[in-house]
Amino acid sequence: MNTKELAVVIMAAGKGTRMKNPDVAKVMYTIADRPMVEYVIETALHLRAHRIVVVVGWQKQSVIDRLAKTFDSVVCVEQAPQLGTGHAVMQAEPALNGFAGDVLVLSGDVPLLTYRTTASLIDVHRSTNAIATVLTAMLDQPTGYGRVLRDSTDHVVGIVEEKDATAEQKQIKEINSGIYVFDRHALFEGLKHITPLNAQKEYYLTDVFQHFWRNNLPVRAVQANEASEIRGINTLEQLEEARGVLEGRLP
């Protein structure tokens, strides 16, 4: 039986420009009268995470105050300035000092993700002794998403963004959800090796995989049962769709 502990890092610093209200942090938009980030935290609690770290940024105080009232086991850390997903996870390292287990990285704007799917992700990660495991989904229309490349032994050997994909790679329907579980030491060691050498001058979390592959460290992938689970909320229309899905799950 694997007895490794679990920590969860939830990225919740985004502005949510397309939500049309700069006074509200994106993760604070509500579904059934609860901020969407709380659904993500509930999943982390269901997984019995030993540490839950929420990375805040835009309208941070509203997020901090709400979570302090609702949860007594959540630590908030600030990402300022906001320099990408890799940079966001870097901010969580001090809060995970002394922790030596696995780190599940979630997004605060993905409230439809279920316990069942995240538990399966962690189980595969541990049973295969992977350094990192990617949650993926199969989409009939994968345009715009990063494609997941596997080899003949089912190891992940590449994550190719749409703009960099060949015509053949664009035919792949398995996409990267942006949700991962990592060995804690490997994650923060890998983050030391990424650089903001891109048009946005940001640190991308996906760049840690290049470090893993260069060092022949095993990366695996697990497909979500339902592609809707990994859907991020970026517009008010998507928020309404998520409300419909969650209401449909209620008994």
Is pLDDT above 50 for 167? yes
DSSP state of 233: -
**Per-residue pLDDT at 250 exceeds 90:** no
pLDDT of residue 138: 96
- 167: helix, strand or coil: coil
Alpha helix (H) residue ranges in the chain: 36-46, 60-70, 85-90, 115-127, 184-191, 208-214, 236-249
pLDDT digits (tens, 9 = 90+) for 41-93: 999 999 999 999 999 999 999 999 999 999 999 999 999 999 999 999 999 99
Provide the 3-class DSSP secondary structure of residue 13: coil
Domain boundaries, the chain: 6-249
* pLDDT at residue 35, rounded to an integer: 96
Q: Reply yes or no on whether 34 is catalytic.
A: no
- Residue 222 · residue 124 · CB < 8 Å: yes
pLDDT band of residue 251 (cuts 50, 70, 90) is low
Q: 89: left (phi > 0), else alpha (psi -120 to 50), else beta?
A: alpha
Task: Say yes or no to pLDDT of 15 above 90.
Answer: no
**In which band, very low, low, confident or very high, does the pLDDT at 200 lie, cut at 50, 70 and 90?**
confident
Which residue is associated with the tokens 């007895």? 3
Residues 6+ apart with CB under 8 A from 80: 57
Q: What angle do CA 57, 63, 68 make, to 5 degrees?
A: 130
Question: By three-state DSSP, how is residue 154 classified?
Answer: coil
Beta strands 219-223 and 156-160 are unpaired
Among 18, 126, 231, 243, the one annotated catalytic: 18
- Amino acid, res. 64: I
Q: What is the DSSP letter of 102?
A: E
Mean pLDDT calculated for residue range 104-122: 97
d(CA 81, CA 123): 35
* Tokens found for residue 66: 């709400």
Find, among 123, 229, 122, the residue nearest to 181 by Cα: 122
pLDDT of residue 24 exceeding 90, the answer is yes
pLDDT bucket at 2, cuts 50 / 70 / 90? low
- pLDDT tier, 199 (very low <50, low <70, confident <90, very high otherwise): confident
Angle at alpha carbon of residue 72, lines to 69 and 76, rounded to 5°? 85
Closest among 79, 26, 81 to 54, alpha carbons compared: 79
pLDDT digits (tens, 9 = 90+) for 222-234: 999 899 999 999 9
Q: How far apart are CA 112 and CA 242, in angstroms?
A: 7
What integer pLDDT is reported at residue 1 of this predicted model?
44
Q: Tell me what the mean pLDDT of segment 200-223 comes to.
A: 95
Write down the architecture of domain 6-249 according to CATH: Alpha-Beta Complex (3.90)
Residue 247: band (very low, low, confident or very high) from pLDDT cuts 50, 70, 90 = confident
